[in-house]
């Protein structure tokens, strides 16, 4: 009988006796059973490995494009990353052939500033590892500026070929490209549809007389000093948003299509955009203009948006022409900004809460419609001399400067299309009258008082008596501003009355016609004396009242009223002109 397990007091379990435990079975059937089990385990492992391998092959084959993109993203040579997270476009696809040709000629991988780049995104220069936005011309030169002439020629040829392939529905992808110094665009190409987002245009890049198609993009691009755009044409929807234009940029004579976007762009010193023609709805919102930005004699279509822009000290718009809408709301206009001889359309907006306007010149500017300077603080002597306002000037809430000048400015809007618009004009001139009174500008105050009265005279709600007296006041002395006008009217009244009296006396045949001059003189010195019987101031052969009492009495009454009225207007004009504040 086979012995049972023996208790072990150390572990509290049962173990077999030593004599029954064998390393190998003694009988042949037992050994066969062990071999069969081993073979089964081996076959199972092999089958599992084959199944896993087949599954991985199936997954890899099905997701081969994604796997390849992942591998390339992991092993990508170029460190360029776009503003929306896209990676270098020259590592694969149809653009990779251009990269391979340039790298093959250069003889290897491109590495600069401890980073790897493709030939198109390789910087032109850098200074001690600082970003390109702070690099300057005298900085440490990068490898692209050290290329041989043949390498630069190959690079330019590749850029030209890529741009030729651009279409309106598929822009040539040149995002982030750094152009070589002195690069010259293709002037012979009809339309260039290209995307230069985040690209860098090296100094002296020549973009003269180039025609870009609609939808071309230059957003976030950097234009280094001495880049020349003169004579170029940009189609509709061109995007220059958040660009940075460095010094000595020539943008003169350029034709920009509709809906161009320069929002949040930065313009450095000496940006020349004179004689440039901008299309409709051009946007310069939140842009920053340097010390010497020149837009003189430029033309803006329907809607020029400069809201919240900041202008430099010597920014010039001399002779520029703006369309129906010129929007400068909340823009910062410092001393030295010039709008001389500008023509503004039907709606010019310069209003802005707590935004200042320095010593700006609007000399001989023409405002064809309403202009708004509401809530502006004028910190300098703004000059509106010889300006022409054809609409309503809105200065509500503005803080004028003592040097504000309206010398010989012409305000032509005293009657609107309806009473509401006329009342708005009256309010606008009242605001200017009070503003001029606050800075003790008496002449300007009198001018705006006259304009306010003229608007009130033409309102439909004014009574006939008020309108009649205001009309006499207007044409008699220009609301007290014209000293010569009462004297001219008095001379005309005296001459007409003398001639009328001479004709009347001559027809009556009672006296010498020369007596008429003496009679008019007596009524001038002593009004209403012709209505009183008795002695006259002059010796006459007859009493004219006895000849025709009604006619001469009425004549004396009218003439005396005219003399008294004109004398009163003359005295009021003298008082208004020479009174102290």
Give residue 297's pLDDT. 94
The single-letter DSSP state of residue 143 is: G
Q: What is the largest CA-CA distance in the chain?
A: 188
Q: How high is the pLDDT of residue 8?
A: 45
Beta bridge partners of 332: 310
Token couple for 565: 């009225």
Query: pLDDT digit of tens for each residue in the chain (581 aa)?
Result: 444 444 444 444 444 444 444 454 556 666 666 677 777 877 787 788 778 767 766 766 665 555 444 444 444 467 777 777 778 888 777 777 777 777 766 655 566 666 777 878 877 665 443 444 433 333 334 566 677 778 788 888 888 888 888 887 788 888 888 887 777 776 556 678 889 998 888 877 888 888 888 899 999 998 888 888 888 899 999 999 999 888 888 899 999 999 999 999 998 888 889 999 999 999 999 999 888 888 999 999 999 999 999 888 788 999 999 999 999 999 988 888 899 999 999 999 998 876 788 889 999 999 999 999 998 888 888 999 999 999 999 999 888 888 888 988 999 988 888 888 889 999 999 999 998 888 888 888 888 988 888 888 888 777 787 788 878 877 877 777 777 888 888 888 888 887 777 777 666 665 565 667 777 777 777 777 666 543 443 444 445 444 456 667 777 788 888 888 888 878 777 777 776 44
For the entire predicted model, the pTM comes to 0.71
Rounded to 10 deg, the angle between the 549-578 and 464-477 helix axes is 70
d(CA 185, CA 271): 20
Alpha-carbon distance of 511 to 493, in angstroms, equals 22
Distance of CA 499 to the CA centre of its chain: 65
Beta bridge pairs of residue 410:
388
Phi and psi at residue 549, in whole multiples of 5°? -65, -35
CB 564 within 8 A of CB 527: yes
Q: Which of 352, 394, 357, 397 is nearest to 378 (CA)?
A: 357
Encoded tokens for 345: 């359309």
Residues in the chain, overall count: 581
Residue pair 361/340 in contact (Cβ under 8 Å)? The answer is yes
Tokens of 447: 């001018």
- Cα atoms in the 13 Å half-sphere on the side-chain side of 137: 11
Q: Is the dihedral of CA 508, 512, 514, 520 positive or negative?
A: negative
Residue carrying structure tokens 């940006």: 271
Count of CB atoms within 10 A of residue 380's CB?
18
Tokens of 63: 């997701």
Contact 252, 234 (CB under 8 A): no
pLDDT at 94: 76
Element (H, E) at 195: strand 194-195
Residue 224: predicted pLDDT? 83
Q: Which of 392, 451, 459 is nearest to 419 (CA)?
A: 459
Torsion of CA 407, 408, 411, 414, to 10 degrees: 100
Instruction: State how far the Cα of 7 lies from the Cα of 13, in Å rounded to an integer.
Output: 6
């Amino acid at each position: 009988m086979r012995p049972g397990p023996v208790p072990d007091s150390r572990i509290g379990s049962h173990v077999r006796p030593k004599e029954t435990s064998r390393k190998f079975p003694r009988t042949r059937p037992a050994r066969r059973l062990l071999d069969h089990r081993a073979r089964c385990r081996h076959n199972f492992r092999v089958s599992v490995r084959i199944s896993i391998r087949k599954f991985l092959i199936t997954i890899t084959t099905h997701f081969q494009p994604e796997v390849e993109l992942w591998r390339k993203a992991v092993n990508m040579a170029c460190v360029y990353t776009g503003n929306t997270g896209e990676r270098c476009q020259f590592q694969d696809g149809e653009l990779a052939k251009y990269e391979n040709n340039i790298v093959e000629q250069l003889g290897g991988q491109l590495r600069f500033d401890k980073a790897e780049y493709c030939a198109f995104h390789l910087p032109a220069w850098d200074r001690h590892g600082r970003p390109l936005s702070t690099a300057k011309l005298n900085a440490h030169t990068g490898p692209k500026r050290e290329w041989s002439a043949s390498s630069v020629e190959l690079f330019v040829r590749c850029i030209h070929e890529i741009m030729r392939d651009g279409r309106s529905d598929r822009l040539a992808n040149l995002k982030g490209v750094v152009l070589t110094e002195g690069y010259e665009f293709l002037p012979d190409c009809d339309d260039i549809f290209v995307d230069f987002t985040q690209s860098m245009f090296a100094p002296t890049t020549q973009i003269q007389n180039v025609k870009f198609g609609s939808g071309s993009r230059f957003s976030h691009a950097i234009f280094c000093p001495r880049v020349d755009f003169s004579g170029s044409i940009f189609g509709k929807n061109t995007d220059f948003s958040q660009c940075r234009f460095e010094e000595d940029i020539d943008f003169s004579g350029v034709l920009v299509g509709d809906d161009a976007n320069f929002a949040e762009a930065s313009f450095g010193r000496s940006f020349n955009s004179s004689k440039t023609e901008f299309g409709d709805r051009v946007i310069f919102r939140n842009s920053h203009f340097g010390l010497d930005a020149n837009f003189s004699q430029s033309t803006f279509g329907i809607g020029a948006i400069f809201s919240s822009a900041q202008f430099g000290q010597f920014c010039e718009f001399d002779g520029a022409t703006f369309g129906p809408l010129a929007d400068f709301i909340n823009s910062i206009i410092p001393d030295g900004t010039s709008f001389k001889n500008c023509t503004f359309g039907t709606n010019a907006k310069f209003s802005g809460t707590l935004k200042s306007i320095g010593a700006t010149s609007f000399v001989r500017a023409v405002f064809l419609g309403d202009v708004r300077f509401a809530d502006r603080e004028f910190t300098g002597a703004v000059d509106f001399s010889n300006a022409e306002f054809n609409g309503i000037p809105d200065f509500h809430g503005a803080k004028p400067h003592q040097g504000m000048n309206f010398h010989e400015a012409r305000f032509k809007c005293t009657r609107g299309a309806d009473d509401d618009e006329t009342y708005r004009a009256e309010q606008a001139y009242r605001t200017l009258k009070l503003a001029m009174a606050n800075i003790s500008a008496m002449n300007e105050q009198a001018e705006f008082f006259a304009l306010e009265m003229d608007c009130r005279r033409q309102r439909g709600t004014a009574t006939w008596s008020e309108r009649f007296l205001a009309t006499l006041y207007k044409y008699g002395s220009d609301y007290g501003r014209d000293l010569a006008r009462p004297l001219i009217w008095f001379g005309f009244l005296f001459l007409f009355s003398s001639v009328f009296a001479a004709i009347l006396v001559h027809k009556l045949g009672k006296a010498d016609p020369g007596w008429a001059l003496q009679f008019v003189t007596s009524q001038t010195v002593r009004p209403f004396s012709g209505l009183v019987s008795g002695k006259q101031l002059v010796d006459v052969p007859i009493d004219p009242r006895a000849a025709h009492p009604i006619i001469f009495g009425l004549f004396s009454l009218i003439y005396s009223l005219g003399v008294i009225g004109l004398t009163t207007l003359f005295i009021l004009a003298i008082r208004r002109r020479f009174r102290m504040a």
